[in-house]
Structure 1
Amino acid sequence: MGIFKKSPEQLLMQEALKLAQDIAQPKIVTQGGGGGSETRWRGASRMLRSMVSWIPGLGSPRRDLASSERSMLVARSRDAMRNHLIARAAIMRLRTNVVGTGLVCRAQVDTEALGLSEEEGDALNAKLDRVWSIYADDPRECDAEATLNHYQLQALVLVSSLVGGDVLVSTPDEERTGCVFSTRLQLIETDRLSNPGRALDTARIVEGVEFDALGAPVRYHVCSGYPNELTLGAELRWDKLEAFGAVTGRRRVLHIMADKERPGQKRGAPYLAPVLEPLQKLERYSSAELMAAVVSAMFTVFIEKSSEFDDEKMNLASLVNGGEGASTDDDDGGDIQLGEGAIIDLGRGEKATTVNPGRPNAQFDPFFMAVVKEIGAALELPAEEILLFYSSSYSAARAAMLQAWRFYSLRRWWLTCDFCQPSRELIIDEAVARGLIDLPGYADPLKRKAYCQALWIGPARGAIDELKEANAAGKRIEIGVSNETLETAAMTGEPWQQVYRQRAREIDQRRQDGNYQLPKGAQPEPEAPNTNQE
């Protein structure tokens, strides 16, 4: 019997198979003192006890935010907004600090690109501001429902996008008697944006958003009603809203998303989606503790009757409670409820047992604050800002406020880019077309951008210590790291030019009245030399 010898090719194939098996089933590498992992990254292990049940799947943005799951997230977010205190506090805090009384627009045309002097630029800015104020201040001009002005629409757009994940703003053209403009802003809730006939998603349509080969939106399919709500005698239809104008390329529909976290994502998830579970548990825990405290506060007296007590006579409980609320042997098993200072009458053979729920619970507040801190970290809002409770030092409270304002500034910028500035550009387009303002060369895309540049100013941040903030602002200006325009907008929410002009008018008026006083430390102006000769 001869010895079978493997050829070099066979030996090479055998080594390759062994290597493939080692890769497919790697050996567990034991690490000193601790557990073992079969992977180089412990987070990728499928054998560690802490990771064995954590096996999420990889999916596209469409799959990871499926229509059914997204609908449930929206429904729960709305319910949390209505009934959960912490959830409502987070949304309302954003509305108040991001929008407040509204983001005010101040035109800032690019004078260099347009070849204008500073004086000509200021005059043009004033004209553009007047045109915008005609539209923004009047609900009949801007709102399709003729209910809210542009500043109120800003708040509604923000809240709707945060709670629903996204919101559409269409721009129908409709003439109204007594109005200057015909461009209206119509807000469309996220529920109405869906596939025609409730059909499944396709390669080019995802939950009502139709897009081209590059992923850019082409049109939006909007239901005439709410697909999940049955209305008697109303037949649902789906309208196609073009995203951009076919001739001019202007934005016709604004799609405002709360957050776009992945490339290719077509619909947004609610702002509260990551914290819905702890929000629900915390709300139930808070309600249970509150009910336990109420029960503990109810001091109830139980009276056990002897056999000699005459049932036909008014018992003690009836006397104390004014003849009402007493329970006797003849009662037909009605509900017994606790009440402030109530006396419950017991029947023969019954014995009272007191229960002390031990409330208020001393551990409630530390645990509650710990959960709120985790929720706030996920929402980018410090717990002090959510609860409006600053109990620590000035430095800690100011640090929490500054951190929250970083988030507010980001949301304000996002709202400006997605809603405020696009809607303003539509109005400037219409104003030029109607001849309300003359902007030479406006048809040129570069000049159009130069004409449409603007500064959006929101409510001021405020300060914990006004004197310290004012001194810090003056120091920043003095050393050259800031300017009066930025500091004025941050502290008052008003443009510096407007504040300066108003202040100059006040000083002139005081000088004319003879009651003007120089600021502290200012040098008096030198008197003009007397040129009269005798």
Structure 2
Amino acid sequence: MWPFKKPERAADLLMREALKLAKATVGGQQIVAQGGGGGVETRWRGASRMLRSMASWLPGLGSPRRDFNQNERRMLVARSRDAMRNHLIARAAITRLRTNVVGTGLVCRAQVDHAALGISEEAADDLNGELDRLWSLYADDPRECDAEATLNHYQLQALVLVSSMAAGDVFVASPDQERPGCIFSTRLQLIESDRVCNPNNGMDRVDLVDGVEFDGLGSPVAYHACTGYVGEHLAGKPLSWERLSVFGAETGRRRVLHVMADKERPGQKRGMPYLAPVLEPLQKLERYASAELMAAVISAMFTVFIKKSSDFQPGNLPMTALAEESPGGDDTTDGELALGEGAVVDLGVGEEPVVANPGRPNAQFDPFFTAVVKEIGAALELPLEELLLHYSSSYSAARAAMLQAWRFYSLRRWWLACDFCQPSRELVIDEAVARGLIDLPGYGDPAKRKAYCQAIWIGPARGAIDELKEANAAGKRIEIGVSNETLETAAMTGEPWQQVFRQRVREVDQRRKHNLQALPKGGLENPPEPKNEED
């Protein structure tokens, strides 16, 4: 029954209630609805508490410690690692980063500042070569750089990237340990995010948050690392916590590196997993895809049911047909009926099968799946084409997607070089100078030390969809002066231009020595020789 005396009165009553709500008072002051329609009581619709779409959205303001609290972070880390293990899209996102950001490793090329050191460019080139040879001795040998003696520095780069993206951060200690047959004693020991926490799982303090101890300015001074994993107890080894100083007490060198995926707020001490914002849609999408796949499998099953009437007698059929059957029907060991590929199921008397057609494959699955992956890719800064490795559009659209993805890859590559690669290289140069492996005058001066340690980190090349177009564009950029051969060589091949040039010179000299010169551009087999050096 209509609750009002007249139907036309319903709209009037609803409008009156809305006006009463709009004229409510807060703190003794009347709230007046602002202009623009909708009865919004605030100038910004996003701050309204009256709009039905916003009434239940009431987040609170909190400090970085509260918004990134320990319990929620651990749950996000656990779910992120599980998604990386079992969810296809999540694993694709992480492995895509590993392959494009690190690939076969970021190669270091020394670039000492000759002006700051007061040396010539030729002397700087010789010094760069000597520093590169020292770094290769360390980075190429797993026994030199890895505390576990299993991965070289380039493989450690990939592990650091994956660990930090999956767990939010990873810590790298640099213990000093001598090994027979090794040149250096500086080892890199990776410590997973789970192991860094407050001693005995205690509460946070003013100067200690989630295992990170810091000073009055917020700078970290020590990390508290558990000897094992909290909750995992091994026989004969009780858990304990070790305080790892961030900087050396005498030298001030960096002793522990904290590689954090993202720092979104000032004062934030721990990082959040890369997949944290998209874990919910990832889980739902994975369940939806699994359900569709199972429905398609069931729909593809073809099973024959044999229905018998009440006057059925086993003797009316050949013995081979029902050799293992009882008169009552199917007599399997488990007593259950199941669908199968081309299976024949014998039903009992009075039993009748009912086939449920799931109607799969669903024609709308792919458009919906693609739409959700687009949103996930937007949050992860990975275009759909790059995330799914499916370049089905035009050349221009595919290249635009690749360029957009490479902006993100370049940012992550720079971040990895700043947080892990360059600091670990500086530790090695420090030890090389201390051991007398290289002579760097004035290295004790912080300004000169930075001049000696300058370097560039070159990763795998971006690649090209159409190499001819990319090569022509690179040549045009060099021709008009907006680029140079060093940048273009690194972008197209991932190798330093100096190395490519020296190798090219050797190849040309060899061809000339054996009269194997390439044909000139005009195609003349015997081009006229110049009469003199000026010609």
Instruction: With the length of structure 2 as denominator, give the TM-score of the two structures.
Output: 0.91
Instruction: Look up the match of 1:205.
Output: 208
Kept in 1: contact 2:329–2:349 (CA 8 A): no
Query: Which of 194, 197, 200 is the equivalent residue of 1:194?
Result: 197
**CA 1:350–1:454: 2 relative to 1, 3 Å:** same
- Name the residue aligned to 1:492: 493
* Contact 2:383–2:405 (8 Å) recurs in 1: yes
Residues 308, 192 of structure 1: alpha-carbon distance in 2 compared, 3 angstrom cutoff? same
Give the match for residue 319 of structure 1.
Answer: 321
1:174 to 174, 177, 180: 177
Which of 159, 162, 166 is the aligned partner of 1:163? 166
Tell which deviates more after alignment, 483-492 or 108-117: 108-117
Provide the secondary structure at the position in 1 that maps to 2:250. coil
- Cα deviation for residue 191 of structure 1 reads 0.4
* Equivalent-residue separation in structure 2 for 1:217 and 1:435 (angstroms): 32
CA contact (8 A) 1:26 1:38 kept: no
> In the TM superposition, what is the alpha-carbon distance from 1:23 to its structure 2 partner?
7.1
Corresponding residue number in structure 2 for 1:517: 518
* 1:373 matches 2:371: no
Residue type of the alignment partner of 1:450: A
**Contact 1:326–1:343 under 8 Å retained in 2:** no
Q: Deviations over 1:49-74 (max 9, x none)?
A: 00000000000011001101000000
Residues 125-180 of structure 1 show CA distances to partners (whole Å, capped at 9, x for unaligned) of 00000000000000000000000000000000000000011000000000000000
Alignment partner, residue 404 of structure 2: 403
Residue correspondence of structure 1 range 122-161 to structure 2 within 5 A: 122-161=125-164
CA shift for structure 1 position 335: 2.3
Aligned-residue offset at 1:22: 7.3
Q: Using the alignment, how far apart are the partners of 1:358 and 1:199 within structure 2?
A: 55
Distance 1:323 1:28, change over 3 A: farther
Q: Structure 2: which amino acid aligns with 1:443? A: G
Alpha-carbon shift at residue 291 of structure 1 (Å): 0.2
SS at match of 1:58: coil
Is residue 2:110 matched to residue 1:76?
Answer: no
Q: Identity rate of aligned residues, in percent?
A: 74
CA distance in 2 between counterparts of 1:80 and 1:436 reads: 46
Name stretches of at least 5 consecutive residues in structure 1 with no aligned partner: 1-20
Q: Partner residue of 1:29? A: 33
Following superposition of structure 1 onto structure 2, how do residues 275-294 of structure 1 map, counting pairs within 5 Å?
A: 275-294=278-297
Q: How has the CA–CA distance of structure 1 residues 213 and 338 changed in structure 2, closer, same or farther, with 3 Å as cutoff?
A: same
Once residues 35 and 226 of structure 2 are traced to their aligned partners in structure 1, the CA distance between those partners, rounded to angstroms, is 59
Instruction: Output the CA distance in 2 between the equivalents of 1:242 and 1:521.
Output: 67
Counterpart of 1:319, as a letter, is A
- In 2, are the aligned partners of 1:193 and 1:221 still within 8 Å (CA)? yes
Map 1:388-427 → 2, pairs under 5 A = 388-427=389-428
Distance 1:326 1:336 in 2: 17
Q: Distance in 1 between matches of 2:533 and 2:206?
A: 87
Q: State the 1:314 CA deviation.
A: 7.1
1:507: Cα distance to partner? 0.4
Partner residue in 2 for 1:221: 224
Q: Kindly provide the amino acid, as one letter, of the partner of residue 376 in structure 1.
A: G
Helix, strand or coil at the partner of 2:313: coil
Whether 2:115 is the aligned partner of 1:112: answer: yes
Cα distance between partner residues in 2 of 1:63 and 1:176: 44
Q: Is the 8 A contact 1:326 1:344 kept in 2?
A: no
Paired amino acid for 1:480: G
| CA distance in 2 between partners of 1:96 and 1:462 (Å) | 13
Residue 29 of structure 1 aligns with an amino acid whose one-letter code is A
Which stretch shows the higher mean deviation, 513-522 or 461-470? Answer: 513-522
* 3-state SS of 1:148 partner: coil
SS across alignment from 1:447: helix
Aligned-partner Cα distance in 2 for 1:315–1:89: 56
- Residue 16 of structure 2 is matched in structure 1 by none
- 2:19 corresponding residue in structure 1: none
CA distance in 2, matches of 1:275, 1:371: 11
Shift of 1:248: 1.2
SS at match of 2:221: strand
- AA partner of residue 132 (structure 1): W
Q: 1:166 to 1:312 in 2, by over 3 A?
A: farther
Question: Residue by residue, what CA displacement relative to the aligned partner does 1:442-493 show, whole Å, maximum 9, x if unpaired?
Answer: 1111110000000100000000000000000000000111000000000000
Gaps of 5+ in 2: 1-24
**C-alpha deviation, 1:306, in angstroms:** 1.7
For residue 520 of structure 1, report the CA deviation from its aligned partner. Answer: 2.1
3-state SS of paired residue (1:174): coil
Letter of the aligned partner of 2:489 in structure 1? T
* Cα shift at 1:307: 2.3
Helix, strand or coil for the counterpart of 1:255? strand
The SS at the match of 2:302 is: coil
1:448 is matched with 449
The question of whether the paired residues in 2 share the 8 Å contact of 1:327 and 1:344 is answered with: no
Q: Which amino acid in the other structure matches residue 27 of structure 1?
A: I
- Contact kept in structure 1, 2:459 and 2:494, CA below 8 Å: yes
Counterpart AA for 1:100: G
Per the TM alignment, residue 24 of structure 1 is displaced from its structure 2 partner at its CA by: 5.5
How many angstroms apart in 2 are the aligned matches of 1:401 and 1:98?
Answer: 13
Work out the CA distance in 2 between the residues paired with 1:50 and 1:530. 83
What letter matches 2:234 in structure 1? T
- 2: distance between equivalents of 1:238 and 1:522? 74
Matched, 1:467 2:488: no
Asked if structure 2 preserves the Cα contact closer than 8 Å seen for 1:109 and 1:454, the reply is: yes
**Paired letter, 2:473:** A
- TM-superposed CA distance for 1:228, in Å, is 2.4
- Structure 1 position 231, deviation (Å): 2.4
Would the alpha carbon gap of residues 520 and 230 (structure 1) be closer, same or farther in structure 2, given more than 3 Å must change?
A: same
Q: Is the 8 A contact 2:34 2:42 kept in 1?
A: no
Question: In structure 2, what is the Cα distance between the partners aligned to 1:85 and 1:303?
Answer: 41
Q: Secondary structure at the match of 1:342?
A: strand
8 Å CA contact retained: 2:325, 2:331:
no
Indicate how the Cα distance of structure 1 residues 502 and 329 shifts in structure 2: closer, same or farther if over 3 A, else same. closer
The 1:172–1:528 alpha-carbon spacing in structure 2 relative to 1, beyond 3 Å, is: farther
Once the two structures are TM-superposed, the CA of residue 351 in structure 1 deviates from its matched residue by 1.4
- The alignment partner of 2:321 has SS state of helix
Q: Distance in 2 between matches of 1:75 and 1:491?
A: 38
**Aligned partner of 1:423: which letter?**
S
CA distance 1:113–1:125, shift in 2 (3 Å): same
Question: Equivalents in 1 of 2:518, 2:334: separation in Å?
Answer: 83
